[in-house]
Amino acid sequence: MNSAGLLQVIKKRRSVRVYKAGKVADKQLETILEAGRWAPSGANTQPWEFVVTRDRGKMKKVRRIYDNEWKERKKEDPIHYKGLKKDYVGDVSVLVLVCGDPRTKQVYLTTRQPGDREKLFQASIANAVEHMMLMAASMGLGTVWVSVREEVEPELRELFKVPQPLRLLWVVPIGHAKSWPKAKPRRKISDFAHRELCNPKKLRQDSAIRPWPKS
179-209: per-residue pLDDT in tens?
Answer: 899 998 899 999 999 999 999 999 999 888 8
| Tens of pLDDT, residues 132-184 | 999 999 999 999 999 999 999 999 999 999 999 999 999 999 999 998 999 98
Q: In this structure, which CATH number among 3.40.109.10, 3.40.50.300, 3.40.50.10420, 1.10.3720.10 belongs to the domain 3-184?
A: 3.40.109.10
Average pLDDT, the chain: 95
Report the alpha-carbon distance of residue 30 to residue 25 in Å, rounded: 9
- Output the pTM of the full model: 0.94
Q: Is 122 exposed, middle or buried (0-12, 13-18, 19+ CB in 10 A)?
A: middle
Read off the pLDDT band of 82 (50, 70, 90): confident
Indicate the SS3 state at residue 75: helix
Report pLDDT for 212. 59
Residues 6+ apart with CB under 8 A from 135: 31, 32, 34, 35
